[in-house]
Amino acid sequence: MSVKPQVNELWKYIGENEVNAELIGDLAEFKRSELIYRLTYFDVRTNGVRYLKTLIRNLAGQLDPASWERLRRTTGREFGRPYSITYDGEPVCLDYLRAVSDLEFIEKNVDLDGGCVLEIGAGYGRTCHTLMSNKDIVSYVIIDLPTTMALSQQYLRAVLSEEQFGRIKFVPIDEIEESLGSAEFDLCINVDSLAEMSIETFRYYLALIAGRCSYFYTNNQVGKYADKSLDGHARGEDAVARALDAGPLVDVIDIDDNRAVREQARKFVAVYCPAADWRCVADDWAPPFTWYWQALFQAPTTGPAATDR
């Protein structure tokens, strides 16, 4: 053959400046170096969105037809321009994949149609949006910080119908007792915030749940981590210290070891149980993040939080 392989300009540059015998050096940690990013995967330090979209695509590929229907019923998901991918013509983002997963875990044991829901710490409102779009919920109460509540109010007003939005009551944390009155709820939800509260506040909310609710669903972290390679402690060491001290579970574990997470999940289930006479009816890993766990607790069949009231 007269034609021989040629080095293009890109790899000529790489060979001269990044990958050659002189620059390779010690291989002890080369899989975390510039070298590896030219040979296998994208630079983890600068390709966060690329990896996020890859994760979303892989999760979307696992959805069954019923899950797709739950997503489609939740209209307005693209409001606010999330990082999304398109799968079979449908826009998909990570937040609503998680919200649909939460709903599916709950509805295996709880009939939400005609029910009253309490959510502690709604973030911008994705869980409320998903539940209100898929279930005939009579009333939905959100307890939150006034600052965060300003966001969820605006967002939910934009993505829900006027009639749906009218069924939501927003309660700031300094008005809980007077605003709730004697109200009781079929379900309380907390996603990704009890793990960030002081232990006193955590206990307050568990007592509130035990006294007013029939079921409690939580999706939170099983513990803490100190792996600086994950984010370089970008918010500073003071922020890391505050995070390590918050919540009811402060054990530092290897969050990338599934056995360590599962072992810690035993503590998670015990600590998040609202009261001694409640029982855990379901718990499991909460994908996609390695150190998140989810659990559904049921109140006793007699008393103020009776499931058959």
pLDDT tens-digit map of 70-81: 999 999 999 999
Q: Which residue has the higher pLDDT, 136 or 305?
A: 136
Looking at 69-78, 108-117, 300-309, which range is the least confident one? 300-309
Q: Looking at the predicted structure, is the pLDDT value of residue 167 above 50?
A: yes
- Do 293 and 265 touch, CB atoms closer than 8 A? yes
Please report which confidence band the pLDDT of residue 302 belongs to, taking 50, 70 and 90 as the band edges.
Answer: very low
Domains and CATH numbers, the chain: 110-298 (3.40.50.150)
Does the model's pTM come out above 0.95?
no
Looking at 134-143, 236-245, 272-281, which range is the least confident one? 236-245
CA-wise closest residue to 149 among 125, 114, 177, 179: 125
> Residues 189-248: pLDDT tens digits?
999 999 988 999 999 999 999 999 999 999 999 998 877 776 667 667 676 566 677 788
Q: What is the pLDDT of residue 143?
A: 98
Residue with tokens 């009231």: 309
> Residues 29-40: pLDDT tens digits?
878 887 777 778
- Do 124 and 152 touch, CB atoms closer than 8 A? yes
> Exposed/middle/buried for 213, CB within 10 Å: 0-12, 13-18, 19+?
buried
Q: Looking at the predicted structure, is the pLDDT value of residue 62 above 50?
A: yes
Calpha distance 133→149 (Å, rounded): 20
Residue type, 238: D
Looking at 73-87, 116-130, 167-181, 227-241, which range is the least confident one? 227-241
Please report which confidence band the pLDDT of residue 97 belongs to, taking 50, 70 and 90 as the band edges.
Answer: very high
Q: Which residue has the higher pLDDT, 18 or 150?
A: 150
3-state secondary structure of 150: helix
Percentage with pLDDT > 70 across the chain: 92
Q: Looking at the predicted structure, is the pLDDT value of residue 306 above 70?
A: no
Q: What is the pLDDT of residue 45?
A: 83
